[in-house]
Amino acid sequence: MDVTRDRAWKTLTAYTASEGLLRHALAVEAAVGAYAVTFDGDEIFWRATALLHDFDYEMHPTLDKHPQDGAPILREEGYPEELIEAVLSHADHLEMPRDTPLKRTLFGCDELSGFIQACGLVRPEGIETLTPKSVRKKLKQPSFAAGVNRDDVVNGAEEIGVDLNEHIEFVTAALRPIAGELGLPAPSG
Ligand SMILES: [Fe+2]
Ligand SMILES: [Fe+2]
């Protein structure tokens, strides 16, 4: 099959109704898509993978099923193994090697994009003026966005091979153009 964004979006929305999950998919897509340009990856393929990484989470919200029980569905739909393997590799509990730039980038953007969204939600200007410094300050507050695994954020940057501040800046910049779609305050005009 031809992996297209449209196809990935159709699969995602066939299994996902939650606005929060759709926004998470869009955020990870934006971050991974921006890195595809930097790392000379196949941007459409990377974006589709990011969109689909949690496509089964609504029906499989626990780690004994997500994402491994979603993989056969993707296979059935005709997605290539390369995409399915990348989707599976974002889950630490499956202990799959993250041996491609796409796998490392997906992992590195997953938790951080959620954290940046959370930072934007508590600021009147959203992520427009959000700096790595204030993101790092929030990372040190365990009660803030407590569901985000701090180790994954730090390890994710390391796996990609970028400095954490630069990674935060890069992902924030990737999310800014879609702030409105993410339910964050969007700059007017
Ligand atoms: Fe996941
Ligand atoms: Fe995710």
Direct distance between the N- and C-terminal alpha carbons of the chain, in angstroms, rounded to an integer: 40
How far does residue 103's CA lie from ligand 2's centre (Å)? 13
How far does residue 163's CA lie from ligand 1's centre (Å)? 24
Predicted pLDDT at 1: 87
Closest ligand to the CA of 22: 2
d(CA 104, CA 140): 24
Predicted pLDDT at 83: 98
Predicted pLDDT at 57: 98
How far does residue 124's CA lie from ligand 1's centre (Å)? 29
Predicted pLDDT at 160: 97
Q: What is the 3-state secondary structure (H, E, C) of 119-187?
A: HHHCCCCCCCCCCHHHHHHHHCCCCCCCCCCHHHHHHHHHHHCCCHHHHHHHHHHHHHHHCCCCCCCCC
Query: Low-confidence residues of the chain, pLDDT below 70?
Result: 188-189
Predicted pLDDT at 186: 83
How far does residue 107's CA lie from ligand 1's centre (Å)? 9
d(CA 101, CA 110): 14
Burial environment of residue 141 by CB neighbours within 10 A (0 to 12, 13 to 18, 19 or more): exposed
> Please, which residues have CB within 8 angstroms of residue 92's CB and are 6 or more apart in sequence?
152
In DSSP notation, 33-45 reads: HHHHHHTT--HHH
- Domain chopping of the chain, boundaries: 5-178
Q: CA nearest 91: which of 74, 70, 119?
A: 70
Predicted pLDDT at 187: 76
Give the CATH fold of the 5-178 domain: Hypothetical protein af1432 (1.10.3210)
How far does residue 26's CA lie from ligand 1's centre (Å)? 14
How far does residue 189's CA lie from ligand 2's centre (Å)? 31
